[in-house]
Amino acid sequence: METLLTVQQAADRLQLTPWTIREQLKAGKLRGVKVGSQWRIISESLITEAQAVRAQEAIKNAERQAGEFAIAKARALAALNEFTADAKEWRGDALPLDNEDEWDELRGYPERENAQL
């Protein structure tokens, strides 16, 4: 036999407001019957609703964590790009040098005086 609960009892069990319980009954998310002007909720439908609420919370948490991961990944990539740009500038890759001798000097190569091949 199914146990019937009042709107207030259902609200207390699901930690929702009575108004929310009534709206869910009207929308068909909770199973219940109307006795006169009062709703009575079938207790087994609360289990399903509680599971749905937990699933929605889990989805929201997963989406939030995925968003935080994406932000962290973007920050890490930005830091890596900045580091790479700094490293290239430090090595001289990004410097506008006029001739090969300036490049060789930056790279630590010996001078090419009269070194014709």
Contacts of 92 (CB under 8 A, 6+ apart): 103, 106, 107
- DSSP label at 3? P
Global pTM reads 0.44
Indicate the number of domains in the chain. Answer: 1
With respect to residue 105, please indicate whether it lies within any of the assigned structural domains: no
pLDDT of residue 18: 92
The pLDDT-based confidence of 6 (bands split at 50, 70, 90) is very high
Query: Where in the chain does DSSP place strands (E)?
Result: 4-5, 32-35, 38-42
Angle between helices 7-14 and 18-27 (to 10 degrees): 100
Quickly state the pLDDT bin for 107 (edges 50, 70, 90).
low
Tell me the pLDDT band of 106, cut-offs 50, 70 and 90: low
The order of strands in the sheet holding 4-5 is 4-5, 38-42, 32-35
Whether 111 is in a domain gets the answer no
Q: Is the pLDDT of residue 12 over 70?
A: yes
